[in-house]
Amino acid sequence: MDAIVIVDMQVGLLEGAPKHDLGGVIDRINALTAMVRREGGTVIWIRHCGKPGDSFERGGRGWAFLPELSRCQDDLLVEKSLNDPYVGTRLKEMLEGLAPHRVLIAGWATDFCVDATVRSTVSCGHNVVVVQDGHTLADRPHLDAPAVIAHHNWIWSNLITDRSITVLPADVLLAG
């Protein structure tokens, strides 16, 4: 049984510069969450709760999940206030209780919250699969979004860990 963790796919990410391949990322997340549910796994949505006045302020417009996402009543939810969804939340205990064979990770933003999630998940003793084309961000001042995504996919593929960490495109995961 797998679990999939979807990081910060909220309306607030629409502010600012466009996010790389956002429509494609949403489509792949929807396909993967459907697959995980169909196979008896668990979908965990991470929601960032920002400070008053920011784009992700609790209860504000940006705090809501993107309406294009296919969410289900039985999915789990973790609310966080930092990049790392393990800090100050029950994510570690949730995953320990589920004991998934592997944890798939996708979402926004590649270089901040997705990176923190990948590293903490493998550090907590889980086999991790990063969805290679399932995370996004906007261009950064020094690198365009595709370069940042490629860089992080390469880093994650080469981390030294006690557990497995792989980076696979959604179509490979969907093909089984």
Q: What is the pLDDT of residues 102-120, one digit of tens each?
A: 999 999 999 999 999 999 9
b or e along 16-27 (b: 16 or more beta carbons within 10 Å of the residue's beta carbon)? eeebbbbeebbe
pLDDT tens digits for range 31-90: 999 999 999 999 999 999 999 999 999 999 999 999 999 999 999 999 999 999 999 999
* Dist CA 157 CA 132 (whole Å): 10
How many structural domains are present in the chain?
1
- pLDDT given for residue 80 in this prediction: 98
Residues in CB range of 36: below 8 A, 6 or more apart: 2, 3, 4, 42, 43, 104
Given a contact cutoff of 8 angstroms between Cβ atoms, the answer to whether 88 and 80 are in contact is yes
Q: Domain range for residue 120?
A: 2-175
CATH number of the domain enclosing 160: 3.40.50.850
Distance of CA 171 to the CA centre of its chain: 17
- pLDDT given for residue 5 in this prediction: 99
